[in-house]
Structure 1
Protein backbone atom coordinates (compact mmCIF):
# COMPACT_ATOMS: atom_id res chain seq x y z
CA UNK A 1 0.00 0.00 0.00
CA UNK A 2 1.25 3.49 -0.83
CA UNK A 3 2.18 6.05 1.80
CA UNK A 4 -0.41 7.68 4.07
CA UNK A 5 -2.90 4.87 3.22
CA UNK A 6 -3.83 6.57 -0.06
CA UNK A 7 -5.18 4.07 -2.55
CA UNK A 8 -2.86 3.87 -5.58
CA UNK A 9 -4.01 4.73 -9.06
CA UNK A 10 -4.58 1.79 -11.44
CA UNK A 11 -1.20 2.22 -13.13
CA UNK A 12 0.58 2.44 -9.76
CA UNK A 13 -1.34 -0.59 -8.52
CA UNK A 14 -0.23 -2.62 -11.52
CA UNK A 15 3.38 -1.61 -11.01
CA UNK A 16 3.15 -2.77 -7.39
CA UNK A 17 1.61 -6.05 -8.54
CA UNK A 18 4.54 -6.58 -10.93
CA UNK A 19 7.01 -5.78 -8.15
CA UNK A 20 5.39 -8.40 -5.92
CA UNK A 21 5.43 -10.92 -8.78
CA UNK A 22 9.14 -10.33 -9.33
CA UNK A 23 9.81 -10.96 -5.66
CA UNK A 24 7.36 -13.81 -4.92
CA UNK A 25 6.91 -15.47 -8.31
CA UNK A 26 3.12 -15.69 -7.92
CA UNK A 27 0.16 -13.62 -6.69
CA UNK A 28 -3.42 -14.41 -5.71
CA UNK A 29 -6.49 -12.33 -6.62
CA UNK A 30 -7.99 -12.52 -3.12
CA UNK A 31 -4.79 -11.38 -1.40
CA UNK A 32 -4.26 -8.50 -3.84
CA UNK A 33 -7.87 -7.32 -3.46
CA UNK A 34 -7.45 -7.23 0.30
CA UNK A 35 -4.09 -5.49 0.09
CA UNK A 36 -5.28 -2.73 -2.25
CA UNK A 37 -8.81 -2.56 -0.78
CA UNK A 38 -10.52 -3.00 -4.14
CA UNK A 39 -12.95 -5.53 -5.59
CA UNK A 40 -11.57 -8.86 -6.81
CA UNK A 41 -12.97 -8.05 -10.26
CA UNK A 42 -10.74 -4.94 -10.34
CA UNK A 43 -7.69 -7.09 -9.64
CA UNK A 44 -8.74 -9.57 -12.32
CA UNK A 45 -8.89 -6.72 -14.85
CA UNK A 46 -5.42 -5.59 -13.74
CA UNK A 47 -4.03 -9.09 -14.19
CA UNK A 48 -5.75 -9.52 -17.56
CA UNK A 49 -4.23 -6.28 -18.82
CA UNK A 50 -0.76 -7.22 -17.57
CA UNK A 51 -1.16 -10.64 -19.19
CA UNK A 52 -2.11 -9.07 -22.53
CA UNK A 53 1.06 -6.96 -22.31
CA UNK A 54 3.13 -10.12 -21.72
CA UNK A 55 4.17 -9.29 -18.14
CA UNK A 56 2.64 -12.33 -16.46
CA UNK A 57 0.79 -15.60 -17.00
CA UNK A 58 -2.76 -15.79 -15.68
CA UNK A 59 -3.88 -18.68 -13.51
CA UNK A 60 -7.39 -19.47 -12.33
CA UNK A 61 -6.86 -17.74 -8.99
CA UNK A 62 -4.12 -15.26 -9.76
CA UNK A 63 -0.96 -15.03 -11.85
CA UNK A 64 2.58 -16.31 -12.27
CA UNK A 65 5.65 -14.35 -13.24
CA UNK A 66 7.09 -15.08 -16.67
CA UNK A 67 10.57 -15.11 -18.09
CA UNK A 68 11.20 -12.94 -21.12
CA UNK A 69 14.87 -13.36 -21.93
CA UNK A 70 14.76 -14.18 -25.64
CA UNK A 71 18.45 -15.06 -25.66
CA UNK A 72 17.60 -18.18 -23.63
CA UNK A 73 15.95 -19.69 -26.70
CA UNK A 74 17.88 -22.13 -28.87
CA UNK A 75 18.75 -20.81 -32.32
CA UNK A 76 16.30 -23.22 -33.98
CA UNK A 77 13.45 -21.63 -32.06
CA UNK A 78 14.52 -18.04 -32.65
CA UNK A 79 14.54 -18.74 -36.40
CA UNK A 80 11.33 -20.79 -36.46
CA UNK A 81 8.24 -19.76 -38.40
CA UNK A 82 5.09 -18.43 -36.73
CA UNK A 83 7.20 -17.12 -33.84
CA UNK A 84 4.55 -14.65 -32.61
CA UNK A 85 1.85 -17.33 -32.68
CA UNK A 86 4.03 -19.81 -30.81
CA UNK A 87 4.86 -17.30 -28.11
CA UNK A 88 1.20 -16.42 -27.49
CA UNK A 89 0.25 -20.11 -27.47
CA UNK A 90 3.07 -20.77 -24.98
CA UNK A 91 1.81 -17.97 -22.71
CA UNK A 92 -1.67 -19.46 -22.75
CA UNK A 93 -0.36 -22.94 -22.00
CA UNK A 94 1.39 -21.71 -18.86
CA UNK A 95 -2.00 -21.00 -17.29
CA UNK A 96 -2.54 -24.74 -16.95
CA UNK A 97 0.60 -25.41 -14.91
CA UNK A 98 0.13 -25.50 -11.14
CA UNK A 99 2.63 -25.97 -8.28
CA UNK A 100 3.61 -29.60 -7.63
CA UNK A 101 2.39 -30.84 -11.03
CA UNK A 102 4.29 -33.66 -12.70
CA UNK A 103 4.63 -32.35 -16.23
CA UNK A 104 5.96 -33.99 -19.38
CA UNK A 105 7.38 -31.77 -22.12
CA UNK A 106 8.23 -32.73 -25.70
CA UNK A 107 10.98 -31.32 -27.93
CA UNK A 108 8.84 -28.99 -30.06
CA UNK A 109 9.71 -25.35 -30.64
CA UNK A 110 6.39 -24.19 -29.14
CA UNK A 111 7.07 -26.08 -25.92
CA UNK A 112 10.57 -24.57 -25.80
CA UNK A 113 8.94 -21.13 -25.97
CA UNK A 114 6.81 -22.18 -23.02
CA UNK A 115 9.85 -23.35 -21.06
CA UNK A 116 11.59 -20.00 -21.54
CA UNK A 117 8.58 -18.29 -19.94
CA UNK A 118 8.15 -20.82 -17.15
CA UNK A 119 8.68 -19.38 -13.65
CA UNK A 120 10.78 -21.11 -11.02
CA UNK A 121 8.20 -23.01 -8.97
CA UNK A 122 7.80 -26.39 -7.22
CA UNK A 123 7.34 -28.69 -10.19
CA UNK A 124 8.58 -31.96 -11.66
CA UNK A 125 9.40 -31.94 -15.38
CA UNK A 126 9.95 -35.14 -17.34
CA UNK A 127 11.42 -34.60 -20.79
CA UNK A 128 13.36 -36.20 -23.62
CA UNK A 129 14.44 -32.78 -24.91
CA UNK A 130 18.02 -31.73 -24.16
CA UNK A 131 17.11 -28.09 -24.86
CA UNK A 132 14.40 -28.24 -22.19
CA UNK A 133 16.96 -29.61 -19.71
CA UNK A 134 19.40 -26.83 -20.56
CA UNK A 135 16.80 -24.09 -20.24
CA UNK A 136 15.69 -25.29 -16.79
CA UNK A 137 19.17 -25.46 -15.27
CA UNK A 138 18.81 -22.09 -13.52
CA UNK A 139 15.41 -22.86 -11.92
CA UNK A 140 16.27 -24.77 -8.73
CA UNK A 141 12.68 -25.35 -7.60
CA UNK A 142 11.94 -27.37 -10.74
CA UNK A 143 12.97 -31.01 -10.51
CA UNK A 144 14.06 -32.12 -13.98
CA UNK A 145 14.08 -35.77 -15.06
CA UNK A 146 15.76 -36.55 -18.39
CA UNK A 147 14.83 -39.82 -20.05
CA UNK A 148 18.14 -40.88 -21.54
CA UNK A 149 18.02 -42.68 -24.86
CA UNK A 150 19.34 -42.43 -28.41
CA UNK A 151 20.33 -38.93 -29.53
CA UNK A 152 18.42 -37.34 -32.39
CA UNK A 153 20.81 -34.50 -33.29
CA UNK A 154 18.31 -32.77 -35.58
CA UNK A 155 15.73 -32.25 -32.82
CA UNK A 156 18.32 -32.22 -29.99
CA UNK A 157 16.39 -34.88 -28.08
CA UNK A 158 16.59 -38.48 -26.85
CA UNK A 159 14.33 -41.16 -28.34
CA UNK A 160 14.06 -44.93 -28.63
CA UNK A 161 13.46 -47.83 -26.19
CA UNK A 162 15.50 -46.39 -23.29
CA UNK A 163 13.63 -43.06 -23.42
CA UNK A 164 10.28 -44.83 -23.59
CA UNK A 165 11.11 -47.19 -20.71
CA UNK A 166 11.90 -44.19 -18.52
CA UNK A 167 8.58 -42.54 -19.37
CA UNK A 168 6.66 -45.71 -18.41
CA UNK A 169 7.96 -45.41 -14.84
CA UNK A 170 6.09 -42.18 -14.10
CA UNK A 171 2.56 -41.04 -13.44
CA UNK A 172 2.22 -37.83 -15.45
CA UNK A 173 -0.35 -35.16 -14.55
CA UNK A 174 -0.04 -33.07 -17.69
CA UNK A 175 1.65 -33.40 -21.07
CA UNK A 176 2.47 -30.34 -23.15
CA UNK A 177 3.39 -31.22 -26.71
CA UNK A 178 2.96 -30.24 -30.33
CA UNK A 179 2.71 -32.14 -33.63
CA UNK A 180 4.18 -31.86 -37.10
CA UNK A 181 0.73 -32.12 -38.60
CA UNK A 182 -2.96 -32.30 -37.68
CA UNK A 183 -5.29 -34.05 -40.09
CA UNK A 184 -9.05 -34.17 -39.49
CA UNK A 185 -9.40 -37.76 -40.65
CA UNK A 186 -6.32 -39.41 -39.14
CA UNK A 187 -5.22 -37.11 -36.31
CA UNK A 188 -1.77 -36.03 -35.13
CA UNK A 189 1.41 -36.96 -36.99
CA UNK A 190 5.20 -36.75 -36.68
CA UNK A 191 8.12 -36.72 -39.11
CA UNK A 192 9.62 -40.02 -37.88
CA UNK A 193 8.52 -43.28 -36.31
CA UNK A 194 10.72 -42.64 -33.26
CA UNK A 195 9.06 -39.30 -32.54
CA UNK A 196 5.58 -40.67 -33.17
CA UNK A 197 6.23 -43.60 -30.83
CA UNK A 198 7.40 -41.52 -27.88
CA UNK A 199 4.61 -38.96 -28.41
CA UNK A 200 1.98 -41.71 -28.50
CA UNK A 201 3.33 -43.18 -25.25
CA UNK A 202 3.31 -39.79 -23.52
CA UNK A 203 -0.30 -39.21 -24.54
CA UNK A 204 -1.22 -42.60 -23.05
CA UNK A 205 0.64 -41.93 -19.79
CA UNK A 206 -0.67 -38.41 -19.10
CA UNK A 207 -3.89 -37.59 -17.26
CA UNK A 208 -4.31 -34.42 -19.32
CA UNK A 209 -2.85 -33.75 -22.78
CA UNK A 210 -2.38 -30.15 -23.94
CA UNK A 211 -1.48 -29.99 -27.61
CA UNK A 212 0.04 -26.66 -28.70
CA UNK A 213 -0.27 -26.01 -32.42
CA UNK A 214 -0.29 -22.85 -34.52
CA UNK A 215 -2.49 -22.60 -37.62
CA UNK A 216 0.22 -23.87 -39.98
CA UNK A 217 0.02 -27.37 -38.45
CA UNK A 218 -3.61 -27.93 -39.48
CA UNK A 219 -4.37 -29.77 -42.71
CA UNK A 220 -0.87 -31.26 -42.72
CA UNK A 221 -0.11 -34.99 -42.91
CA UNK A 222 3.38 -35.89 -41.76
CA UNK A 223 4.94 -39.34 -42.13
CA UNK A 224 3.78 -41.27 -39.03
CA UNK A 225 0.65 -40.86 -36.94
CA UNK A 226 0.89 -40.56 -33.16
CA UNK A 227 -2.77 -40.39 -32.18
CA UNK A 228 -6.33 -39.55 -33.14
CA UNK A 229 -7.86 -36.14 -32.49
CA UNK A 230 -9.43 -37.23 -29.21
CA UNK A 231 -6.03 -38.21 -27.77
CA UNK A 232 -5.71 -34.57 -26.68
CA UNK A 233 -7.86 -33.00 -23.97
CA UNK A 234 -7.08 -29.41 -24.95
CA UNK A 235 -5.70 -27.92 -28.17
CA UNK A 236 -4.25 -24.41 -27.89
CA UNK A 237 -3.97 -22.59 -31.21
CA UNK A 238 -4.05 -19.10 -32.70
CA UNK A 239 -6.82 -17.06 -34.30
CA UNK A 240 -5.69 -17.80 -37.87
CA UNK A 241 -6.77 -21.45 -37.57
CA UNK A 242 -9.71 -22.27 -39.82
CA UNK A 243 -12.94 -22.71 -37.83
CA UNK A 244 -13.68 -26.04 -39.50
CA UNK A 245 -10.71 -27.54 -37.66
CA UNK A 246 -11.90 -26.05 -34.37
CA UNK A 247 -15.38 -27.45 -35.00
CA UNK A 248 -13.94 -30.90 -35.75
CA UNK A 249 -11.95 -30.87 -32.52
CA UNK A 250 -15.01 -29.84 -30.52
CA UNK A 251 -17.01 -32.63 -32.17
CA UNK A 252 -14.27 -35.08 -31.13
CA UNK A 253 -14.66 -33.93 -27.51
CA UNK A 254 -11.50 -31.81 -27.45
CA UNK A 255 -11.55 -28.39 -25.80
CA UNK A 256 -10.01 -25.60 -27.88
CA UNK A 257 -8.36 -22.41 -26.66
CA UNK A 258 -7.73 -19.76 -29.31
CA UNK A 259 -5.24 -16.95 -28.65
CA UNK A 260 -5.19 -13.63 -30.45
CA UNK A 261 -1.99 -12.57 -32.21
CA UNK A 262 -1.89 -8.80 -32.52
CA UNK A 263 1.34 -8.28 -34.43
CA UNK A 264 0.42 -10.06 -37.66
CA UNK A 265 2.05 -8.49 -40.69
CA UNK A 266 -1.07 -8.96 -42.80
Structure 2
Protein backbone atom coordinates (compact mmCIF):
# COMPACT_ATOMS: atom_id res chain seq x y z
CA UNK A 1 0.00 0.00 0.00
CA UNK A 2 1.51 3.32 -1.04
CA UNK A 3 1.54 6.32 1.30
CA UNK A 4 -1.42 8.11 -0.32
CA UNK A 5 -3.61 5.01 -0.08
CA UNK A 6 -2.49 4.53 3.52
CA UNK A 7 -3.50 8.10 4.38
CA UNK A 8 -6.91 7.69 2.72
CA UNK A 9 -7.50 4.46 4.60
CA UNK A 10 -6.53 6.11 7.89
CA UNK A 11 -8.97 8.96 7.23
CA UNK A 12 -11.74 6.43 6.55
CA UNK A 13 -11.08 4.52 9.77
CA UNK A 14 -11.08 7.75 11.79
CA UNK A 15 -14.37 8.76 10.18
CA UNK A 16 -15.87 5.43 11.25
CA UNK A 17 -14.73 5.88 14.85
CA UNK A 18 -16.03 9.45 15.01
CA UNK A 19 -19.39 8.40 13.55
CA UNK A 20 -19.86 5.83 16.30
CA UNK A 21 -19.46 8.52 18.97
CA UNK A 22 -22.99 9.60 18.00
CA UNK A 23 -24.43 6.11 18.43
CA UNK A 24 -24.36 2.67 16.79
CA UNK A 25 -24.19 2.59 12.99
CA UNK A 26 -25.03 -0.09 10.46
CA UNK A 27 -22.61 -1.18 7.75
CA UNK A 28 -24.73 0.40 5.02
CA UNK A 29 -24.69 3.76 6.84
CA UNK A 30 -20.91 3.70 7.23
CA UNK A 31 -20.44 2.72 3.60
CA UNK A 32 -22.52 5.70 2.53
CA UNK A 33 -20.68 8.00 4.94
CA UNK A 34 -17.23 7.01 3.68
CA UNK A 35 -18.10 6.45 0.04
CA UNK A 36 -16.83 2.90 -0.02
CA UNK A 37 -18.26 -0.61 -0.31
CA UNK A 38 -19.95 -2.67 2.40
CA UNK A 39 -17.24 -5.31 1.99
CA UNK A 40 -14.54 -2.74 2.76
CA UNK A 41 -16.48 -1.44 5.77
CA UNK A 42 -16.89 -4.95 7.20
CA UNK A 43 -13.14 -5.49 6.84
CA UNK A 44 -12.47 -2.12 8.54
CA UNK A 45 -14.83 -2.94 11.41
CA UNK A 46 -13.14 -6.27 12.00
CA UNK A 47 -9.72 -4.62 12.18
CA UNK A 48 -10.89 -1.82 14.48
CA UNK A 49 -12.68 -4.27 16.76
CA UNK A 50 -9.49 -6.34 17.08
CA UNK A 51 -7.68 -3.16 18.13
CA UNK A 52 -10.32 -2.32 20.72
CA UNK A 53 -11.40 0.86 18.93
CA UNK A 54 -15.04 -0.24 18.59
CA UNK A 55 -17.42 -3.13 19.27
CA UNK A 56 -19.12 -5.14 16.55
CA UNK A 57 -22.89 -5.47 16.58
CA UNK A 58 -25.24 -7.45 14.37
CA UNK A 59 -24.98 -5.70 11.02
CA UNK A 60 -22.78 -2.85 12.22
CA UNK A 61 -20.79 -1.48 15.15
CA UNK A 62 -20.93 0.74 18.23
CA UNK A 63 -18.38 2.77 20.16
CA UNK A 64 -16.05 0.81 22.43
CA UNK A 65 -17.26 0.76 26.04
CA UNK A 66 -13.80 1.88 27.17
CA UNK A 67 -11.20 3.22 24.78
CA UNK A 68 -7.78 4.46 25.92
CA UNK A 69 -6.16 6.57 23.22
CA UNK A 70 -8.42 8.59 20.94
CA UNK A 71 -7.41 6.47 17.95
CA UNK A 72 -5.41 3.24 17.52
CA UNK A 73 -1.66 3.63 17.12
CA UNK A 74 -1.66 2.80 13.41
CA UNK A 75 -3.99 5.74 12.75
CA UNK A 76 -2.12 8.19 14.95
CA UNK A 77 1.13 7.21 13.22
CA UNK A 78 -0.18 8.33 9.82
CA UNK A 79 -1.55 11.63 11.15
CA UNK A 80 0.70 14.59 10.22
CA UNK A 81 3.23 12.09 8.88
CA UNK A 82 5.34 14.59 6.92
CA UNK A 83 5.45 16.93 9.91
CA UNK A 84 6.76 14.18 12.17
CA UNK A 85 9.47 13.26 9.67
CA UNK A 86 10.64 16.88 9.49
CA UNK A 87 10.67 17.19 13.29
CA UNK A 88 12.60 13.94 13.61
CA UNK A 89 15.23 15.13 11.16
CA UNK A 90 15.72 18.24 13.28
CA UNK A 91 16.08 16.01 16.34
CA UNK A 92 18.67 13.87 14.57
CA UNK A 93 20.92 16.93 14.29
CA UNK A 94 21.21 17.04 18.10
CA UNK A 95 22.60 13.51 18.41
CA UNK A 96 26.24 12.47 18.04
CA UNK A 97 27.77 9.03 17.75
CA UNK A 98 28.65 7.39 21.06
CA UNK A 99 25.92 9.15 23.04
CA UNK A 100 23.27 7.47 25.16
CA UNK A 101 19.75 8.30 24.00
CA UNK A 102 16.30 7.63 25.43
CA UNK A 103 13.44 7.33 22.94
CA UNK A 104 10.01 7.78 24.49
CA UNK A 105 6.92 5.95 23.27
CA UNK A 106 4.66 7.69 20.74
CA UNK A 107 4.43 8.33 17.03
CA UNK A 108 6.62 11.45 16.82
CA UNK A 109 9.42 9.86 18.84
CA UNK A 110 9.09 6.78 16.64
CA UNK A 111 9.98 9.03 13.72
CA UNK A 112 13.12 10.05 15.66
CA UNK A 113 13.99 6.38 16.18
CA UNK A 114 13.83 5.80 12.45
CA UNK A 115 16.18 8.72 11.83
CA UNK A 116 18.64 7.31 14.39
CA UNK A 117 18.88 3.86 12.82
CA UNK A 118 22.59 3.06 12.39
CA UNK A 119 23.69 6.27 14.17
CA UNK A 120 26.16 4.52 16.49
CA UNK A 121 24.40 5.34 19.76
CA UNK A 122 23.32 3.46 22.87
CA UNK A 123 19.55 3.68 23.09
CA UNK A 124 16.80 2.80 25.53
CA UNK A 125 13.58 2.36 23.58
CA UNK A 126 10.34 2.72 25.52
CA UNK A 127 8.31 0.91 22.88
CA UNK A 128 8.88 -2.14 20.71
CA UNK A 129 8.09 0.00 17.65
CA UNK A 130 11.01 2.30 18.48
CA UNK A 131 13.31 -0.64 19.31
CA UNK A 132 12.67 -2.25 15.93
CA UNK A 133 13.31 1.04 14.13
CA UNK A 134 16.57 1.67 16.01
CA UNK A 135 17.80 -1.85 15.26
CA UNK A 136 16.80 -1.83 11.59
CA UNK A 137 20.39 -1.04 10.58
CA UNK A 138 23.67 -2.07 12.26
CA UNK A 139 25.42 0.38 14.55
CA UNK A 140 23.23 0.99 17.59
CA UNK A 141 23.13 -0.77 20.93
CA UNK A 142 19.39 -1.07 21.54
CA UNK A 143 18.07 -1.74 25.03
CA UNK A 144 14.46 -2.32 26.06
CA UNK A 145 13.20 -2.34 29.65
CA UNK A 146 11.54 -5.32 31.24
CA UNK A 147 7.94 -5.63 32.34
CA UNK A 148 4.60 -5.36 30.63
CA UNK A 149 3.75 -3.62 27.36
CA UNK A 150 0.58 -1.94 26.18
CA UNK A 151 -1.09 -3.95 23.45
CA UNK A 152 -1.81 -1.14 20.98
CA UNK A 153 1.30 1.07 20.94
CA UNK A 154 3.65 -1.62 22.34
CA UNK A 155 4.96 0.78 24.99
CA UNK A 156 6.57 -0.24 28.28
CA UNK A 157 4.56 1.10 31.21
CA UNK A 158 5.35 -0.98 34.30
CA UNK A 159 7.67 -0.66 37.27
CA UNK A 160 10.36 -2.53 35.35
CA UNK A 161 10.54 0.28 32.82
CA UNK A 162 10.93 2.91 35.53
CA UNK A 163 13.66 0.91 37.26
CA UNK A 164 15.58 0.56 33.97
CA UNK A 165 15.33 4.29 33.26
CA UNK A 166 16.53 5.21 36.76
CA UNK A 167 19.45 2.78 36.50
CA UNK A 168 20.77 4.56 33.40
CA UNK A 169 21.96 8.07 32.54
CA UNK A 170 21.23 9.58 29.16
CA UNK A 171 22.99 12.30 27.23
CA UNK A 172 19.70 13.18 25.56
CA UNK A 173 16.08 12.08 25.89
CA UNK A 174 13.40 12.61 23.26
CA UNK A 175 10.09 12.97 25.08
CA UNK A 176 6.58 13.07 23.69
CA UNK A 177 3.42 14.41 25.31
CA UNK A 178 -0.31 14.32 24.70
CA UNK A 179 -0.38 18.03 25.45
CA UNK A 180 2.01 20.86 26.27
CA UNK A 181 -0.24 23.78 27.12
CA UNK A 182 1.82 26.54 28.84
CA UNK A 183 -0.71 26.99 31.63
CA UNK A 184 -1.08 23.29 32.48
CA UNK A 185 2.37 21.94 31.71
CA UNK A 186 3.28 18.64 30.09
CA UNK A 187 0.48 16.12 30.38
CA UNK A 188 -0.52 12.67 29.15
CA UNK A 189 -3.65 10.55 29.19
CA UNK A 190 -2.59 7.86 31.69
CA UNK A 191 -0.95 7.83 35.11
CA UNK A 192 1.61 5.06 34.29
CA UNK A 193 2.82 6.97 31.23
CA UNK A 194 3.25 10.10 33.35
CA UNK A 195 5.45 8.20 35.80
CA UNK A 196 7.60 6.82 32.98
CA UNK A 197 8.12 10.27 31.47
CA UNK A 198 8.92 11.83 34.84
CA UNK A 199 11.63 9.22 35.40
CA UNK A 200 13.02 9.97 31.92
CA UNK A 201 13.24 13.69 32.71
CA UNK A 202 15.11 12.97 35.94
CA UNK A 203 17.66 10.65 34.29
CA UNK A 204 18.67 12.77 31.31
CA UNK A 205 21.30 15.49 30.88
CA UNK A 206 19.34 17.06 28.02
CA UNK A 207 15.57 16.67 27.67
CA UNK A 208 13.96 17.38 24.33
CA UNK A 209 10.22 17.66 23.87
CA UNK A 210 9.48 16.92 20.23
CA UNK A 211 5.92 17.73 19.29
CA UNK A 212 3.55 18.93 16.62
CA UNK A 213 2.03 22.38 17.05
CA UNK A 214 -1.40 20.93 17.83
CA UNK A 215 -0.26 19.71 21.26
CA UNK A 216 0.19 23.25 22.65
CA UNK A 217 -3.56 23.88 22.73
CA UNK A 218 -4.59 20.62 24.42
CA UNK A 219 -4.72 19.37 27.98
CA UNK A 220 -4.71 15.85 29.38
CA UNK A 221 -5.34 14.36 32.80
CA UNK A 222 -1.90 13.50 34.18
CA UNK A 223 0.90 16.04 34.55
CA UNK A 224 4.49 14.83 34.38
CA UNK A 225 6.42 18.08 34.14
CA UNK A 226 6.58 21.70 33.06
CA UNK A 227 8.62 23.80 30.66
CA UNK A 228 11.15 24.21 33.50
CA UNK A 229 11.97 20.49 33.16
CA UNK A 230 12.96 20.84 29.50
CA UNK A 231 16.15 21.93 27.79
CA UNK A 232 14.85 21.99 24.22
CA UNK A 233 11.55 21.98 22.36
CA UNK A 234 11.40 20.97 18.70
CA UNK A 235 8.19 21.95 16.97
CA UNK A 236 6.96 23.59 13.78
CA UNK A 237 6.99 27.28 12.91
CA UNK A 238 3.19 27.50 13.21
CA UNK A 239 3.28 26.69 16.95
CA UNK A 240 1.41 29.27 19.09
CA UNK A 241 3.51 32.36 19.71
CA UNK A 242 2.46 32.35 23.38
CA UNK A 243 3.79 28.82 23.90
CA UNK A 244 7.13 29.65 22.28
CA UNK A 245 7.38 32.81 24.40
CA UNK A 246 6.62 30.95 27.65
CA UNK A 247 9.18 28.29 26.81
CA UNK A 248 11.93 30.77 26.10
CA UNK A 249 11.06 32.68 29.29
CA UNK A 250 11.65 29.41 31.13
CA UNK A 251 15.10 29.15 29.55
CA UNK A 252 14.16 26.49 27.02
CA UNK A 253 15.82 26.43 23.60
CA UNK A 254 13.05 26.35 20.98
CA UNK A 255 13.85 24.92 17.56
CA UNK A 256 11.14 25.61 14.98
CA UNK A 257 11.03 23.64 11.75
CA UNK A 258 9.97 25.78 8.76
CA UNK A 259 6.73 24.76 7.08
CA UNK A 260 8.62 24.61 3.78
CA UNK A 261 10.66 21.71 5.19
CA UNK A 262 7.43 19.80 5.81
CA UNK A 263 6.20 20.30 2.26
CA UNK A 264 9.35 18.62 0.97
CA UNK A 265 8.25 15.23 2.41
> 1:172: Cα distance to partner?
1.0
Residue pair 1:186, 1:229 contacting (<8 A) in 2 also: no
Q: Could you tell me the TM-score, scaled by structure 1's length?
A: 0.68
The match for 2:151 is: 153
Tell me, in whole angstroms, the C-alpha distance in 1 between the residues paired with 2:254 and 2:77: 27
> 1:140: Cα distance to partner?
2.4
The match for 2:197 is: 199
Q: Give 2:221's match in structure 1, choosing from 215, 220, 223.
A: 223
Q: Could you tell me the TM-score, scaled by structure 2's length?
A: 0.68
Q: Give 1:81's match in structure 2, choosing from 65, 71, 79.
A: 79
Which string of whole-angstrom CA distances, capped at 9 and with x for unpartnered residues, describes residues 99-121 of structure 1? 10000001111111122222413
1:172 aligns with 2:170: yes
Structure with the higher strand share, 1 or 2: 1
> 1:228: Cα distance to partner?
1.0
The match for 2:120 is: 122
Residue pair 1:77, 1:109 contacting (<8 A) in 2 also: no
* Greater Cα offset, 150-159 or 200-209: 150-159
Residue pair 2:173, 2:200 contacting (<8 A) in 1 also: yes
The match for 1:48 is: none
Which string of whole-angstrom CA distances, capped at 9 and with x for unpartnered residues, describes residues 133-175 of structure 1? 1122332210011001211112211111111111111111110
The match for 1:68 is: none
The match for 1:182 is: 180
Structure 1 segments (4+ residues) deviating >6 Å: none
Tell me, in whole angstroms, the C-alpha distance in 2 between the residues paired with 1:254 and 1:114: 20
**Which structure 2 segments of 5+ residues have no match?**
1-71
Residue pair 1:128, 1:148 contacting (<8 A) in 2 also: no
Which string of whole-angstrom CA distances, capped at 9 and with x for unpartnered residues, describes residues 64-97 of structure 1? xxxxxxxxxx972785322222111111000000
Give the 3 Å change call, closer, same or farther, for CA 247–207 of structure 1 in structure 2. Answer: same
Tell me, in whole angstroms, the C-alpha distance in 2 between the residues paired with 1:79 and 1:196: 20
CA RMSD of aligned residues (A): 1.8
Give the 3 Å change call, closer, same or farther, for CA 119–154 of structure 1 in structure 2. Answer: closer
**Which structure 1 segments of 5+ residues have no match?**
1-73
Which string of whole-angstrom CA distances, capped at 9 and with x for unpartnered residues, describes residues 38-57 of structure 1? xxxxxxxxxxxxxxxxxxxx
Tell me, in whole angstroms, the C-alpha distance in 2 between the residues paired with 1:243 and 1:128: 31
Q: Give 2:208's match in structure 1, choosing from 207, 210, 214.
A: 210
Residue pair 2:117, 2:136 contacting (<8 A) in 1 also: no
The match for 1:92 is: 90
1:110 aligns with 2:108: yes
Residue pair 2:117, 2:140 contacting (<8 A) in 1 also: no
Aligned length: 191
Give the 3 Å change call, closer, same or farther, for CA 153–196 of structure 1 in structure 2. Answer: same
The match for 2:142 is: 144
> 1:260: Cα distance to partner?
1.0
